[in-house]
Structure 1
Amino acid sequence: MVSSMTFVVFSLLIIVGLIFTNVLAVNLYETSSISRTATSVSSHLDENCGKSTVQINQSPTDPLPSGIPTYTVEIVNTCVTDCAISNIHVACGMFSSATLINPNIFMRLSENDCLVNGGNPISSGGVISFKYANTFSYPLSVSSVVCN
């Protein structure tokens, strides 16, 4: 009888110990999850507005009837909060096109300096797109922006 009672008490102690260990592990996991989330959110908040939130995508499209290659460019404000970005300047080399591009959309101001959207703001998630024709594609990268 004593030995069965000892076994029951010992078993209860093990069960209580396992429950306590499990609760402790869950609390540690929740704390570490909160820490990771806070780090993730704060690092994202640092990038709410800036050059890194403007993405330039460029892809080849069907050539002109004359055979000159054409390219489609999309300039996207990837900011997830309500932030408009204006005065977007793009490093664009000696950009030129065999087809006319609306200068209010994309215009070369000088060597290696092109202005997007006439300097006007692009809202969060906004996209400016245009096509150009040239024998080669130009490397395009954001050089400066103004956050509104």
Structure 2
Amino acid sequence: MDEGCAGAEDIAIYQGHASSLPGGVPAYKVDVINQCMGDLDGGDCAIAGIHVRCGWFSSVSLVDPRKFRRLGHDDCLLNDGRALLGGETISFEYANSFPYELSVRVATCVDPTTTP
């Protein structure tokens, strides 16, 4: 865990298998973690506008678009663009015949008191 915000470098994406859908379609659980831990409440490590490289991401099961949605090819938005505080995790599951390679494209350190 770093001291002070480093933007995209502070965001980690972990992906693993989840329970398959009834039709046998594989499912995957994704955890996106803001690993920055600057102050006790994580406020100086708020990171927003997190865009993820995601190819042509699609899912057989609905993914809450406020958590993760594809904007275009290789551009998915996490958490509706809102900030993740230091130590915070956002998780979602998707189902497809194969896992997508997900990596952070861009993320911006923000002041959490001025973001919605």
Give the TM-score of the pair, scaled to structure 2: 0.86
How far apart in 2 are the matches of 1:104 and 1:61? 20
How far apart in 1 are the matches of 2:18 and 2:45? 31
- Residue in 1 that maps onto 2:33: 76
- Residue in 1 that maps onto 2:24: 67
How far apart in 2 are the matches of 1:97 and 1:104? 15
- Residue in 2 that maps onto 1:120: 82
Q: Which runs of 5+ in 2 are unaligned?
A: 39-43, 111-116
How far apart in 2 are the matches of 1:116 and 1:126? 13
Deviation digits for residues 1-22 of structure 1, max 9, x if unmatched?
Answer: xxxxxxxxxxxxxxxxxxxxxx
AA aligned opposite 2:18:
T
4+ aligned runs moved over 2 Å, structure 1: none
Shift of 1:48: 3.0
Q: Please list, as runs of the form range in 1=range in 2, the aligned pairs for 1:1-148 lying within 5 A after superposition.
A: 45=3, 48-81=5-38, 82-148=44-110
- SS of the residue corresponding to residue 67 of structure 1 reads coil
Shift of 1:112: 0.2
How far apart in 2 are the matches of 1:60 and 1:139? 13
How far apart in 1 are the matches of 2:30 and 2:15? 4
Which of structures 1 and 2 has the bigger CA Rg?
Answer: 1
How far apart in 2 are the matches of 1:91 and 1:120? 17
Shift of 1:51: 1.1
Identity of aligned pairs, percent?
44
How far apart in 2 are the matches of 1:65 and 1:76? 29
Between Structure 1 and Structure 2, which shows a larger proportion of helix residues?
1
AA aligned opposite 1:66:
G
Between Structure 1 and Structure 2, which shows a larger proportion of strand residues?
2
Q: Which runs of 5+ in 1 are unaligned?
A: 1-43
Give the TM-score of the pair, scaled to structure 1: 0.68
